[in-house]
Structure 1
């Protein structure tokens, strides 16, 4: 059957590409695929965060879709909680096959446009492994580190030259491929001071070779073409965090980097405001850093100062509303305060007020199918904790906006199902009240139904110590 589908795509390509001199220029492409172990009955196709269409899978978990009036470039297809990028150009007839249990690693393309997209997916997987290696390299001295990452970059350039000589790809492909190489290299250098074991980050920066950051002179901080590109955005986050260390050092002469410092985070928002003019890039960065700070802060005065700075700089009305709500929720979730009342639905379809489920030391954790790896890892961790701390009640809450049976089926399929599983009844309102961000957020509640810790993490080194404190209160 796979050969039959591939044949159809080849046939479509041959028919679709036939044109004489009087025919209009081809401005469409085909995308199709097969998904093994699907977690939904559709994929979502988008470009630059704008959804193009929701494409249904057929009875065999396959689909075929024609994109008319193609705007060539990077597209995103999403399925369940996973996504991947593809490059589509006119006359492409791209087919992919993947298994959701091993999403990126199983992804393979065929058809016209396959070579360039297989190049990108292989590069993506190699970069994941490379980043682990880079973190180890960051413990080396600056000169040694620079030589190693220069060598990695040169190897990639030669590999791209070999691919180019063999397949003669388009200028668009080369533009993206070169950007991938450049910004991956730049990212490696920007992450160096943060990953290096030394705590005095300013001292580390001063020890680097003079030409270590020379490439910064060529950076376009408002590159609209790359604005939705993962490696570009990751580079910007570390680059801006790195540069902010210098302005932060003017306020904090001990130069001991603390990502939770209000001063440092305000300096970073100010830097973004001064360097970036592209609204989409600027608003995304402001939102990312603001919510990242707030999600870890328990100081109401500092939270409000950070919120004020964010509101003064962003142009996103949606972002302003969401950030204000999140800050208000964070400020209400204080130690010693009553846990807010939200309604949960059990897997027997019974509705409970969350407070009615608490009669002793309790841990509230959250999960979503969208964050599949966290979903699996958290349940293995919780299983371990339940054995070690039988006096604690562990309640797991699903925050996905779909029916109860889907959540139950996913749990049962992994052997995770137990009696303390619930879903939020009113998901949007409950998420606002409990401020569920990031997904690792965990709330500790005392037996008197008051909050002991509004934002911890079951994977943190201090979590078991916090549990013992909860038990002994």
Structure 2
């Protein structure tokens, strides 16, 4: 019965969207959410105009987009989001399970085929990443041939798809850009991922045509200014451009990701090459917060922060970055861990100090990073067996209340031992400067910080645990 009703709704929408009741183009967007994590779906267009759509009693929704601006939109549910191409008179219906957000996502209705193409390509690229990381250890000629082969294969697949379904020029523009952004990114990361410490010498050894596509780079692309794949490519590109400059200044010197010069050069290159304020501000913010989160030198952090503040035009971001920097400074190794309240899954409230009675590791999870959550839980369980003298506390950072994360643990058949959530999520996240999501904090039995930003999946992590007091 459910399938019949859903199919019937699709027919109604398709029929409705093919009528020309007015001259202003419109479209319909709807669907069904399995295991919803909130009562809403938020649809955002390229100009960041957002519509909040409420789920009904059966966790379904339908929304008419009036005065449609054709192009890429994004929809968000809970902490997860995905991109979707909406064109005039589309009637796109989705179905997804929040426990496997991207993997379960399928579309039906008018406009579904192009978006199923995009989500399938997205999942294929995710699977391909590990393979490409291995390819990075090949010599430059072989690596380029492999990447070019993969890129040409994707372009031929797109050509066959376009011939079969008579897609629009807008679809082709975005689909071709997706492919080029992805594989050009693979070339940008190559010298940084290739084994060896002397990156400068290796960079000079690359074939002359290795970066031939660079002559066509648009650093200020208005059409793709809010497009995730475009920003990912630019991030990788500026990493490599900065490496080139670093290598010229530091000949025959071992490359250091955390070098102040390397990171300052990166901000300067962005400032000199990117003029579009939205694109520039996003890139500056990304690289600055990443540097600050891992830096162990307060003076260098201040230099990078001041460089960022001098270049960005986003006043709100300036305040956020300054506050983030101040929070990082309060979390230096040897400092007393800050106090805050957590809630267990029986709705009991605890001061975090009451839970730190021996060396303690604190990790974090969010529904937005569901795969990380599952891997973290299993990793913690194995570490608990090896290090019984250490308490492992895992905190959910979402602002859903305790029922949703409790149900997620239950669905995964995980127990709630040492599982908590923040009583005041936004305030606590700012206090602990939680970025990136892999951030792990080690505290000694005296509630002093041993490491404010390590990673439990890093090779050196267990060496850090082994040094804790027995």
Shorter-chain TM range is: over 0.9
- Inter-CA distance 274–33: structure 2 relative to 1 (3 Å threshold): same
Are 2:448 and 1:450 aligned?
Answer: yes
Q: Which moved more, 1:39-48 or 1:344-353?
A: 344-353
Q: CA deviation at 1:49?
A: 6.7
Q: Which moved more, 1:420-429 or 1:203-212?
A: 420-429
- Inter-CA distance 239–338: structure 2 relative to 1 (3 Å threshold): same
DSSP 3-state at the match of 1:391: coil
Q: CA deviation at 1:151?
A: 1.8
Are 2:56 and 1:58 aligned?
Answer: yes
* Correspondences of 1:191-230 after superposition (within 5 Å): 191-230=189-228
DSSP 3-state at the match of 2:368: coil
Q: Is the 8 A contact 1:366 1:399 kept in 2?
A: yes
DSSP 3-state at the match of 2:406: helix
Q: Which residue is 2:4 aligned to?
A: 3
Q: CA deviation at 1:362?
A: 1.2
Q: Which residue is 2:437 aligned to?
A: 439
Q: Which residue is 1:114 aligned to?
A: 112
Q: Is the 8 A contact 1:26 1:90 kept in 2?
A: no
Are 2:72 and 1:71 aligned?
Answer: no
Q: Is the 8 A contact 1:26 1:91 kept in 2?
A: no
Q: Which residue is 1:16 aligned to?
A: 17
Q: Which residue is 2:172 aligned to?
A: 174
CA distance in 1, matches of 2:111, 2:208: 43
Q: Is the 8 A contact 2:365 2:397 kept in 1?
A: yes
TM-score, scaled to structure 2: 0.95
Structure 2 residues not aligned, in runs of 5+: none
Q: Is the 8 A contact 1:33 1:96 kept in 2?
A: yes
- Inter-CA distance 49–294: structure 2 relative to 1 (3 Å threshold): farther
Are 2:463 and 1:462 aligned?
Answer: no
DSSP 3-state at the match of 1:390: coil
CA distance in 2, matches of 1:339, 1:101: 33
Q: Is the 8 A contact 1:444 1:470 kept in 2?
A: no
Q: Which residue is 2:316 aligned to?
A: 318
Runs of 4+ in 1 over 6 A off after TM superposition: none
Q: Is the 8 A contact 2:361 2:392 kept in 1?
A: yes
Q: Which residue is 2:405 aligned to?
A: 407
* Correspondences of 1:56-455 after superposition (within 5 Å): 56-455=54-453
DSSP 3-state at the match of 2:468: helix
Q: CA deviation at 1:72?
A: 0.5
DSSP 3-state at the match of 1:371: helix
Q: Is the 8 A contact 1:200 1:257 kept in 2?
A: yes
Say how many residue pairs are matched.
469
- Inter-CA distance 441–46: structure 2 relative to 1 (3 Å threshold): same
Q: Which moved more, 1:223-232 or 1:308-317?
A: 223-232
CA distance in 2, matches of 1:112, 1:435: 44
TM-score, scaled to structure 1: 0.95
Please give the per-residue CA displacement for 1:318-338, whole angstroms capped at 9, x wherever unaligned: 111111111111111122221
CA distance in 2, matches of 1:163, 1:172: 14
Q: CA deviation at 1:15?
A: 3.4
DSSP 3-state at the match of 1:31: strand
CA distance in 2, matches of 1:323, 1:309: 12
Structure 1 residues not aligned, in runs of 5+: none
Q: Which moved more, 1:299-308 or 1:95-104?
A: 95-104
Q: Which moved more, 1:275-284 or 1:37-46?
A: 37-46
Please give the per-residue CA displacement for 1:130-187, whole angstroms capped at 9, x wherever unaligned: 3322222221111122222222222222222222222221111111111112212211
